[in-house]
Homo-oligomer: A and B are copies of this chain.
Amino acid sequence: MAPSRITPICLLVYLCFLGVFVKSVLSAKARHFKWEVDYMIGAPDCLEHVVMAINGQFPSPTIKARAGDTVVVHLTNKLHTEGVVIHWHGIRQLGTPWADGTASISQCAINPGETFVYRFKVDKAGTYFYHGHYGMQRSAGLYGLLIVDVEEGKKEPFQYDGEFNLLLSDWWHKGVHDQEVDLSSNPFRWIGEPESLLINGRGQYNCSLAAAHDSKASGCTFRGNEACAPNILHVKPNKTYRLRVASTTSLASLNLAIGNHKMLMVEADGNYLQPFSVNDFDIYSGETYSVLFRTDQRPTDNYWISVGVRGRQPRTPQGLAIVHYQTTTASKLPTLPPPQTPLWNDYARSKSFSNKIRALSGSPKPPINHHRRIFLLNTQNRINGYTKWAINNVSLSLPPTPYLGSIKHRLTNAFDQKSPPDTFLSTYDIMKPPPNPNSTYGSGVYMLKFNTTIDVILQNANALNPNVSEIHPWHLHGHDFWVLGYGEGMFSKRDEDKLNLKNPPLRNTVVIFPYGWTALRFVTDNPGVWAFHCHIEPHLHMGMGVVFAEGFILLGRYQTRLFLVA
């Protein structure tokens, strides 16, 4: 058949394909936002406090987009003396590493008065959020949701009638600048537990709407229009709702429950899960989940959503929101008490939940073998009397010049040229305080070859005080990774067989349990410089992170291309 001749059927098929193509191109949008970051006077937990805000909103505005869209944010820094960046948590920045929004890593902080344009594709539907990634500006309130719906015409692998978003955070009355100074002091001053838990930026300090069920709490009254009044989710009976939950806490590991309602876990960090039912679920800082719940309870009642602290002895009251059945009045308080948060140190329960998380059948599977395995031991240490966290005895100290530019321009004096170690002494006793608590600062990077499979074994250990090992949720930039498994004690060869290569979930954040290990795997298919760090804000401030530089090779004297494959 000559090329110029097309049969009618071929033409039809051709036009159909063209149609799909055109529709796909048409439906993918560039979504533009003009944002100004500034401080404002707010009252997150009803007490007046300075908060970081975008365009005068706290929490910052929710971005809604569809998979395939390009998000363009013109971010102007209106702060007086501070730089600022915004990290798009969970967005892999495929091909746009400079838009990752990590100060000292992907970019210089945006100086006061200046504007930086973030332009990146949200390639995958899911529940994401964004937040400051400079100093402890996330703790100061610089965060918001980023919701990516499926492409137009495509469907989620589950159905629902409506959706709600809950952005969880924790709140201190001491200002973040002062917290930073405390954490950097010698002797060390810990920031303590948060005064309040916030749901969508709203908490109630020193009082509780659920006081009727808690003899220790004093009552609150709200008309509902107060900035700190609890969120109300208005639902209809016998419907299915999707609850998108993201945790941007500075410190707290949380557990969420809805009174009397079961939930079906369906999405985590922008990846579908093999659905499973729960009465409550744990959520660590940096994680997101979608759960479905059916409004199948007595419709003449309302119900509490409660959020409480786990993993640390809680000194913070539960955060509360209300599920309001529209058949009754929104002002009617639930008759049942808020769901109790499971015991903070029932780690068996936490692990049981984490181990239930599996990828939806048909999800991408990890490569069977790894090319390189990096063991990362996290220890608490002292450096010249200052309390720090260290990974393989190196406490991350970010350089003023961002790695991405330093590596591109081959600056050899911008950061430590020696890579930090891939492992630690096999004789290290993770059950005891560090025998040599002295650590060093470091700014070296792990250079990862392009298109290789990397395993990371996160190894927890005892902190400086005896019998203390803490929870750390680790977050990777630029990637999702497969969570191959969790285990007790030191990772050893006999754990190898326990790794789940069959249906491990894809995540961007994973927890490491006290005295335990967590194994994860990813493929270096996204050139860039990516932070991998504990998402607890004060822990990162204290050096708990590493930096992966991925897909770079030296380019000789031709430096016109940023990345080459290895």
On A, residues with C-beta under 8 Å from B are 38-41, 50, 80-84, 104, 108-109, 111-114, 134-137, 175, 177-178, 180-182, 184-185, 189, 398-400, 541
Q: Which of B82, B109, B111, B134 is in CB contact (< 8 Å) with A108? A: B111
Q: Are B400 and A111 in contact (CB under 8 A)?
A: yes
Residues from chain B with a CB closer than 8 A to the CB of A40 are 181, 185
A44 CB to nearest B CB, Å:
14
Inter-subunit contact A80/B178 (CB<8 Å): no
CA distance A52 to B556 in the complex (A): 45
Least Cβ distance of A187 to chain B in Å? 10
| Cβ contacts A to B, 14 pairs, < 8 Å | A41-B181, A41-B185, A50-B181, A81-B82, A81-B134, A81-B137, A83-B111, A108-B111, A109-B111, A111-B400, A113-B400, A114-B400, A175-B175, A175-B178
Q: Are A181 and B39 in contact (CB under 8 A)?
A: yes
The chain B residue sitting closest to A398, CB to CB, is B113
Q: Is the CB of B135 within 8 A of A80?
A: yes
For A184, list chain B residues within 8 Å (CB). 38-39, 80
Q: Separation in Å of the A53 CB from the closest CB of chain B? A: 10
Give complex CA distance A415, B282 in Å: 52
Q: Which of B83, B109, B111, B177 is the one whose CB lies under 8 Å from A177?
A: B177
Question: Across the interface, do A178 and B108 meet the contact criterion of CB distance under 8 Å?
Answer: no
Complex formed: what's the CA distance from A111 to B189 in Å? 26
Contact A178 B83, CB 8 Å, known A113-B399, A185-B41, A400-B111? no
A81 to B111, CA, bound (A): 10
Give chain B residues whose Cβ lies under 8 Å from the Cβ of A134. Answer: 81
Number of copies: 2
Minimum C-beta distance from A200 to chain B (A): 22
Bound: A84/B112 CA distance, A: 12
Bound form: Cα–Cα A135–B80 in Å: 6
Bound-state Cα–Cα, A515 to B189, Å = 50
A388 nearest CB across to chain B (Å): 15
Quote the shortest CB–CB distance from A468 to chain B (angstroms): 25
A269–chain B nearest beta-carbon distance, Å: 27
Q: Given B135, B185, B189, which contacts A81 in the complex, CB threshold below 8 Å? A: B135
Q: Is there contact, CB below 8 Å, between B39 and A177?
A: yes
Residues of B within 8 A of A182 (CB): 41
- Kindly list chain B residues whose C-beta atoms are within 8 Å of the C-beta of A38: 184
Kindly list chain B residues whose C-beta atoms are within 8 Å of the C-beta of A109.
Answer: 81, 111-112
Closest residue of chain B to A48 (Cβ to Cβ) is B178
Assembled-state Cα–Cα distance A21/B184 (Å)? 50
Minimum CB–CB distance from A263 to chain B (whole Å) comes to: 38
Once the chains are docked, how many angstroms separate the CA of A137 from the CA of B178?
A: 15
- Give me 14 other A-B pairs in contact (C-beta within 8 A), A50-B177, A113-B400 excluded: A39-B177, A39-B180, A41-B181, A50-B181, A80-B180, A80-B541, A83-B83, A83-B112, A108-B111, A111-B400, A112-B400, A113-B399, A175-B175, A175-B177
Contact yes or no, A178 B81, CB < 8 A: no
Residues of chain B within 8 A (CB-CB) of A84 are: 81
A135: chain B residues within 8 A (beta carbon): 80-81
Q: How far is the CB of A42 from chain B (nearest CB, A)?
A: 10
CB distance from A441 to the nearest CB of B (A): 12
Given contacts A112-B400, A400-B113, contact A136 B80 (CB under 8 A): yes
Q: Determine the residue in chain B with the shortest Cβ distance to A136.
A: B80
A401 to B, closest residue via Cβ: B113
Chain B residue numbers with a CB within 8 Å of A185 are 40-41
Cβ of B111 and Cβ of A111 under 8 Å apart?
A: yes
Alpha-carbon gap, A179 to B243, bound state (A): 39
Give complex CA distance A541, B108 in Å. 26
Nearest Cβ in chain B — how far from A384, in angstroms?
13
The 10 closest A-B pairs by CB, nearest first: A113-B400, A81-B135, A80-B135, A81-B82, A39-B181, A50-B181, A114-B400, A82-B82, A80-B180, A50-B178
List of B residues within 8 angstroms of A41 by Cβ: 181-182, 185, 189
Residues of chain B within 8 A (CB-CB) of A189 are 41
A326 to B182, CA, bound (A): 41
Output the least CB separation between A69 and chain B (Å). 30
